[in-house]
Structure 1
Amino acid sequence: MNGNWRLSSQLAWRFRRSRGQSGFTSFISASSTVGIALGCCVMILLLSVMNGFERELKDRLLAVLPHGELLAVAPEGISDWRRQLEQLKEDSRVAYVAPVTKMAAMLQSAGKMNAVQVTGIDPGFTRPSRISLMTDPQQWQQFELQPNGILLGRGIMKKLGVEVGQKVQLLMPQQSDSQSFKPPKSVWFDVVGAAGIGGELIDNHLALVHLSKASDILGVTSGAQGLEFGFADPFRAPFLMRELGMAFEQYVYISDWTRTHGHLYQDIKLVRAVVYLVLTLLIAVACFNIVSTLVMAVNEKRREIAMLKTMGAKDNLIIRAFMLQGLFNGLIGTAFGVSAGLLLAWQLSFLAKALERLAGITLLSGDIYFIDFLPSQIHLTDVMVTTCIALGLSTVATLYPAIKAARIEPAKVLGH
């Protein structure tokens, strides 16, 4: 069996390197190799970019945002929230749990107004990693010491034109039992620092105050409107939050990060699926050129095939020889494509920065997105899947021409 494969390999290499091969056949053969290489390179590169975005989403955005929230339906808030918090901490799936009070309001300064999502937090329950990512440590210490302090998103501070040390007015709408107009509740805060991680959705609407202050403004008598959660695997948050919410002692609204910022993750998954589909089709088109190359090679080598069969060559030997001839293109294209894709993905962030400097453009703006660079992360699984797709399609492409070569009848060919 090993001898047959060795002979098939020698025949495939001789057919491939034969000087009698026409220039057009050689061109089609080279184009198939280049097409496979290009498809593998681009697939690995784009999948690495998607992996990079997913990593940054988890390490940056989800390190700051809570993975899930339980907000009390009752206006008085979560009853005995400290006891329930301690019980929830015992769940091994929960990385952290903290009290929170949230409300929508308007901030005003010097005649300018901006809508904000005010979040009341207790500094004693806040994660250190969240602090280091969101704000300067000195400003955080000032926030801890000043109960009337507020941390504003950088985008809000820019829109209102306020700086650290100035005062801002918080306007909270109030419900009225009658038809008469009830003016909004007004509270003044001292701006003690800027918070945020970049990105329009967060920095333009983020405002952090002390939990006790937010609860007083909203009228939450228990001290906390709800609880926010973090999980070791944030992508399981929808399932875990539903389970925790259904088992909670009182009626609560269940929310998780996929409801507010899930479109980013859904976009990544959608683009990943599109990349697999489109570039698999690109590799398939390149492999179609293998079919054309081998069909023309079979027609050019009809006499040599007939002579081999008269010398006792079996059909399996002919099939293996032409399959291996086509697989050479697939192997060479896959090797060059995967190597180039890995090299480009490894240096993608550096190359993107160099392109921005040379062309004077900005690929990702930190004011809009939560990152200002092009991320990349190589996964071995993506490399293996790409390689299997390219080699699998290359193998399938060789079947028809190889079988056609084995069906050549020596008597008809040599008779002419």
Structure 2
Amino acid sequence: MFRPLELFVGLRYTRAKRRNQFISFISSVSIICITISVMALITVMSVMNGFDYQLRSRILGAISDATVSSVGGESLQNWQFAVKAVDGNPHVKGAAPYVEIQTFMQAQRSTGAIVRGIDPSQEPKVSNINQHMVEGSFDTLNSDGWNIILGKDLALQLGVGLGDRVILVVPQVTSNPLTGATPRIRAFTVSGIFEMGMEEFDSGLGLISIGNAEKLKNIAGPTGIRLSLDNLDNARSIAMELADSLGQTYEVTTWMDSHANFFKAIAMEKKVMFIILSLIILVAVINLISMLMMLVTDKQADIAILRTLGSTPRSIMGMFMVQGVLVGVVGIAFGVGLGSLLSWQLPAIVKMIEHLTGVVFLSPDVYYISEVPSKLDAYDVLWVSLVTFAFSLLATLYPAWRASRTQPAQALRYE
């Protein structure tokens, strides 16, 4: 069976003899350090991916990917034409009209909030609030009654539950000779409560039917159209296409205009964490250099004999590079396996630790997300593996070069 000399000797050196047990121990330590470093980097990247995914899905689940509104900010003129125009774009997956109102709510307590008038049959195309109902039903907005669905924290602030009444005060005033200027006031019945897991929406958003919203705001037609796109990263280019097709009387904005900095900060933090933890891998690889240098010193006589038998300096380099790369590959393999397993089970492990210690790592009163998320990405695993392999390969070059420079006469002088 064909087996290159460099591979044969390199693999032979990995098997410890009694007189070089210490070198074998250092080799094992190098494998363990690389394994721990790779496992930590994969786990951290998975957690960062989990946070990015959770925040993106929760935020975009409530605000929509893009919005079409009138330039003047009033009701959308000829909105049926706008809906047909955006539906004709292949990048638009769904469109739904809406009316947005700034209101002041009164019940047992009072607070300000945004009320969004929606079409319950069209809204699931552009948001997933209907999937986050904790009480009541999303379909209650289809009825002719004056019903309202509140965020969970908003309902707690008002001190209301299902069936209770909430007074909505709209700061748009009407005036007549008898009463003068008065705001618009209307009582609504709480027919549902949702929980998005985002304080911004759970404590500041209410939903009513679009017909009731138009009556409450005294307008004919929606104030805008919310869109769902097939590619969030190309939202700006899609918005430019829609703006060109709709004309100058319509304005198209995207999620990037309101939350782009937030997601850019997460992406930047992920890159910084990758760089920092890559330095930890570099520190672990230093053990590999130390192990190979000691091995080269221990094998001086063997190297000299191989040189006298005709081995070239390049062949000697290959023998020691095989062992260094083998240590790196074994460490990468264990690190990827353990890191992937830890990333997969991390949410359950954190919950178990919280249950045993009674310590809540992410309090829902402080953080957007109350659970530690994890999302394993094969692209990140590949990058971590390649970077670690590159470090391991570079770590073998100097010791292998030193081995290739061994002079047989000097090495065998005292043997």
- How far off its partner does 1:341 sit? 0.8
- How far off its partner does 1:242 sit? 3.6
Find the residue that maps to 1:120 and give its secondary structure: strand
- How far off its partner does 1:69 sit? 1.0
Counterpart residue identity of residue 206, structure 2: A
- How far off its partner does 1:15 sit? 3.0
Residue matched to 1:289: 287
Distance 1:125 1:332 in 2: 54
Q: CA 1:41/1:205 → structure 2, altered by over 3 Å: closer, same or farther? A: same
Residue matched to 1:113: 110
Find the residue that maps to 1:74 and give its secondary structure: coil
Find the residue that maps to 1:280 and give its secondary structure: helix
- Larger deviation: 49-58 or 394-403? 49-58
Q: CA 1:33/1:75 → structure 2, altered by over 3 Å: closer, same or farther? A: closer
Counterpart residue identity of residue 201, structure 1: E
Distance 1:76 1:303 in 2: 88
Q: CA 1:343/1:172 → structure 2, altered by over 3 Å: closer, same or farther? A: same
- How far off its partner does 1:137 sit? 8.5
Distance 2:203 2:184 in 1: 22
Residue matched to 1:276: 274
- Larger deviation: 404-413 or 374-383? 374-383
Residue matched to 1:398: 396
Of the candidates 236, 239, 242, which is equivalent to residue 238 of structure 1? 236
Q: CA 1:75/1:396 → structure 2, altered by over 3 Å: closer, same or farther? A: closer
Distance 1:369 1:292 in 2: 44
- Is the 8 Å Cα contact of residues 86 and 92 (structure 2) preserved in structure 1? yes
Alignment: residue pair count: 408
Q: CA 1:334/1:13 → structure 2, altered by over 3 Å: closer, same or farther? A: same
Superposed, which structure 2 residues align to 1:8-407 within 5 Å? 8-16=6-14, 17-21=16-20, 23=22, 25-57=23-55, 59-110=57-108, 112-127=109-124, 130=128, 132-135=130-133, 139-174=137-172, 184-221=183-220, 223-262=221-260, 264-366=262-364, 371-407=369-405
Counterpart residue identity of residue 166, structure 1: D
- How far off its partner does 1:365 sit? 4.0
**1:61-100: per-residue Cα shift (whole Å, max 9, x none)?**
4344311112212354211101221222122211111111
- Structure 1 segments unaligned to the other structure (5+ residues): none
- How far off its partner does 1:131 sit? 5.2
- Is the 8 Å Cα contact of residues 64 and 134 (structure 1) preserved in structure 2? no
- Is the 8 Å Cα contact of residues 199 and 366 (structure 1) preserved in structure 2? no
- Is the 8 Å Cα contact of residues 107 and 166 (structure 2) preserved in structure 1? yes
- Is the 8 Å Cα contact of residues 70 and 228 (structure 1) preserved in structure 2? yes
TM-score, normalised by the number of residues in structure 1: 0.88
- Is the 8 Å Cα contact of residues 98 and 223 (structure 2) preserved in structure 1? yes
Q: CA 1:73/1:213 → structure 2, altered by over 3 Å: closer, same or farther? A: farther
**1:89-131: per-residue Cα shift (whole Å, max 9, x none)?**
1222111111111132221223x32121121112232227735
**1:177-229: per-residue Cα shift (whole Å, max 9, x none)?**
xxxx96644333222221232221110011112223323443433x1111110
Distance 2:411 2:364 in 1: 69
Find the residue that maps to 1:163 and give its secondary structure: coil
**1:216-267: per-residue Cα shift (whole Å, max 9, x none)?**
443433x111111011233332332243234423434433223444455334
Same amino acid, percent of matched pairs: 30
Counterpart residue identity of residue 172, structure 1: V
- How far off its partner does 1:49 sit? 2.3
Cα RMSD over matched residues? 2.8
Counterpart residue identity of residue 213, structure 2: A
- Structure 2 segments unaligned to the other structure (5+ residues): 175-179
TM-score, normalised by the number of residues in structure 2: 0.88
Find the residue that maps to 1:355 and give its secondary structure: helix
Counterpart residue identity of residue 124, structure 1: S
- Is the 8 Å Cα contact of residues 12 and 325 (structure 1) preserved in structure 2? yes
Q: CA 1:365/1:253 → structure 2, altered by over 3 Å: closer, same or farther? A: farther
Q: CA 1:250/1:188 → structure 2, altered by over 3 Å: closer, same or farther? A: farther
Residue matched to 2:177: none
- How far off its partner does 1:166 sit? 2.0
- Is the 8 Å Cα contact of residues 58 and 234 (structure 1) preserved in structure 2? no
- Is the 8 Å Cα contact of residues 134 and 195 (structure 2) preserved in structure 1? no
Distance 1:136 1:312 in 2: 78
